Amino acid sequence: MIPSETVLIFLRVLAGILLLATLGLVLIFLWRDFRGAAETITSTRRPYGKLTAIETIGNTSVLTGESHPLLALTSIGRSPSNAIQIEDSFASAEHALVALRDGQWWLEDRGSRNGTLLNDLPVTQPVIITNGDIIGIGQKHFRVELEN
Amino acid sequence: MTGVTWHVLPIPEAWQHRLARALLVLAGLFLVINTLALTAVQGFRASLWVSIAVWIVCAVTGMLWLERRMPKADTLLFPLAMFMSGWGIVIISRLLPAFGERQTLWLIISLIALLATTSIPNLLSILRQFRYLLLVFGLVLLLTTILFGTNPSGTAGAPALWLGAAGIYFQPSELLKIVLVAFVASYLAEQYPIFRSTDLLNGDKKYYLSPRIVGPILLMWGLCLVVLIWQRDLGTAILFFIVFILLLYIASGLNRVAYGGAFLILAAGISAYFLFDVVKLRVDIWWNPWLDPDGRAYQIVQSLMTFSAGGVFGEGIGQGFPAYVPVIHSDFIFSALAEEWGLLGVVTIIVLIAALVSRAFIIAVRQRGRPYHTLLAVGFGILFAVQSILIMGGVVKLIPLTGVTLPFFSYGGSSLLVSFIILGLLLRLSSGES
């Protein structure tokens, strides 16, 4: 029969080691996760820019906090197949297209029912857009923010 | 790169699943070894081993379910929660065996609630859509407690914070935490454009103290005062207000919100000190417990004793004398842990809670461009953090004692249940639900 004092000491040491192992494991997890996140940020190519949703209240335009990254070919519309899906009953399923061609950004209407606006003017044929332009789709407005 | 955007959160890699499983296995080994030691000290008790078996079944079921049903969710959250709740069950069983059995039962209920929370479709947008209904529900709950509240201990004059029927008691203020964070997050997300309004033509930031900002602060402040005055529930009142101020600060980015909130807390605290005996008592025994160590300051003095008795490595489970601290199984469970596992145990607890909170914040940061989801995740993170700091700081006499539970550890069915529901919501947020 082993004396119970020895058993208790042994169990205490074991419990202590397990606590240390837990600490180590949690720290390894957090460390690897942070490192992974840092690598993702530095390794991915710089984004082209983004479309920032804005809302007009009175005379001021304000940010809604919603924004979407631009892709080389960014389709916009109500259908989930679009790169930017917008929930707006005035938007068509496939509403508009923002595309990078020959170093210029182009905005194109894809035959939408209610039309696409560029700085409050309807877009009838593909037009070149630039930083700060406001694209209107349905009841929503997006500001073009390009990366240089 | 496909048409999907920033909204998609990183999917856990294989090593994250492996480490999460390893953590759960470590937790299981830790609990079994402590149960063995407890058996060596206190003799064999079947209910204790049943509790451990139930914990293992819950851990395995939950892990398998989450890996299959929510493969994209954060992997670390569940093992952390199970580690803490299992440790809580062991220490409660060691202190008061009957309470340990009840806590085990609550663990089963909480796990079912967690799985239900992760299964209901579109839960996050439902919470958002019905926010005013939610708020009314919360206020009715609060009112019902004020009118019909009881205390399970049956002591006259004890704070009546429970709603009870047929021997089952529930603390509505726990449920109110979820309601509060969900409501405030969706309200502030709706007001986000106003908070961050920028004049696009000349780029001026237009910050102003509009009623949209000041109104809700005063409303919340009033609500917390109601909780404080009618219920004598100091901990919940201060917890609600701090969580609300921090959320408002994060949503608006205005320093003056943080300063103003700190001022309001101080003002309320100072006037409460002169108006309410319970607050005065708490502050007095925090400032100098040695004036009355055998009377009113008995609990806090005994709690300090447990910390010194525990030392660096603790006295070992079942070998300390934590029962000198009154109601140690609930608010003071931290001192029981300190006595029997020492500094090592205390550091582990803090790291476990900090890891949980940091996961919540990371989930929030990754919800780019979605204010509601960010605020929801950050709100739950702050809730856990502030609650843990309040009670751990109170137990070691760093700050005046406010009676809140230590999340996942403390005895209390409502607290455990609500913690697990919040965990479920965090899991949903981490898997990128819109």
Q: pLDDT tens for residues B70-127?
A: 888 999 999 999 999 999 999 999 988 889 999 999 999 999 999 999 998 888 888 8
SS3 A72: coil
A residues 18..47 contacting B (CB < 8 A) = 18-23, 25-30, 32-33, 36-37, 40
For residue B27, the model assigns a pLDDT of 96
Q: What is the mean pLDDT of chain B?
A: 85
The reply to whether residue A60 touches residue B197, judged by beta carbons under 8 angstroms, is: yes
In a domain, B299, yes or no: yes
Looking at the partner chain, which of A18, A63, A81 has a beta carbon nearest the beta carbon of B29?
A18
**CA triple B184-B187-B189, angle to 5 deg:** 105
Is A69 near chain B, with CB under 8 Å? yes
Q: Does residue B200 register a pLDDT over 60?
A: no
In a domain, B20, yes or no: yes
Cβ pair B229, B354 in contact under 8 A: no
Separation between Cα atoms, residue B358 and residue B415, nearest integer Å: 21
Q: Does residue B151 form part of some domain?
A: no
**Out of A12, A60, A71, whose CB is closest to B199?**
A60
Res B215 pLDDT > 80? no
Separation CA A109–CA A117 (nearest Å): 9
Q: Is residue B357 part of a domain?
A: yes
Inter-chain contact B13–A36, Cβ cutoff 8 Å? yes
Smallest Cα distance from B324 to chain A, Å? 22
Burial B389-401 (b: 16+ CB within 10 A, else e): bbbbbbbbbebbb
User: Which of A46-50, B370-374, B416-420: highest mean pLDDT?
Assistant: B416-420
Q: Distance (Å) from the C-alpha of residue B280 to the closest C-alpha of chain A?
A: 39
What are B400's two structure tokens? 């005046």
Q: With a threshold of 0.90, does the pTM exceed it?
A: no
The interface predicted TM-score (ipTM) is 0.83
Asked whether residue B219 is domain-assigned, the answer is no
Helix A4-43, helix B333-366: angle, nearest 10: 20
Q: Is A17 on the interface with B (CB under 8 A)?
A: no
| Substitution target from B26, B312, B343, B372 for chain A, most A beta carbons within 10 A | B26
Which residues, other chains included, contact B272 with Cβ-Cβ below 8 Å and sequence gap of 6+?
B228, B234, B279
Domain boundaries, position B322: 13-121+276-430
Greater confidence (B362 vs B230) lies with: B362
Interface test with A, best of B122, B351, B359, B375 (most A CBs within 10 A): B351
- Nearest CB to A15: which of B33, B76, B198? B33
Shortest CA gap A82–chain B (Å)? 7
Task: Give how far A88 is from chain B: nearest CA, Å.
Answer: 16
Q: Note whether B306 and B322 are within 8 A (CB).
A: yes
Model confidence at B6, pLDDT cuts 50, 70, 90, reads very low
Please tell me which of the candidates A12, A29, A66 has its beta carbon nearest to residue B76.
A29
For chain B, the domain total comes to 1
pLDDT per residue as tens digits for the range B154-171: 665 566 677 766 566 778
Residue contact A67–B80, C-beta within 8 A: no
Please check whether residue B144 lies inside any domain of the structure.
no
How many CB atoms are closer than 10 A to CB A70? 22
Give the three-class secondary structure for B153: coil
For the CA atoms of A30, A32, A34, A39, the dihedral, rounded to the nearest 10 degrees, stands at: -170
Q: Please tell me if residue B347 touches chain A, with a CB cutoff of 8 Å.
A: yes
B122-156 pLDDT per residue, tens: 888 888 888 888 888 888 888 888 787 777 666 65
Of B208-212, B243-247, B370-374, least confident by mean pLDDT is: B208-212
Q: Is residue B149 part of a domain?
A: no
Tell me what pLDDT residue B8 has.
Answer: 52
Q: Does B206 touch chain A (CB under 8 A)?
A: yes
E strand or H helix that includes residue B104: helix B97-119
B213 is written with which tokens? 């900002």
Which of B128, B200, B434 should we substitute to test contact with A (largest number of A Cβ atoms within 10 Å)? B200
Q: Return the H-helix or E-strand segment holding A145.
A: strand A140-146
Query: Which residue on chain A is closest to B36 by alpha carbon?
Result: A11
The nearest CA of chain B is from the CA of A137 a distance in Å of 19
Distance from CA of B363 to the nearest CA of A (A): 12
- Whole-angstrom distance, CA of residue B108 vs CA of residue B1: 43
**Is B189 a member of any domain?**
no
**What's the CA gap between A64 and A68, in Å, rounded?**
12
Rg (CA), chain B: 22
CB contacts < 8 A, A to B, total 128
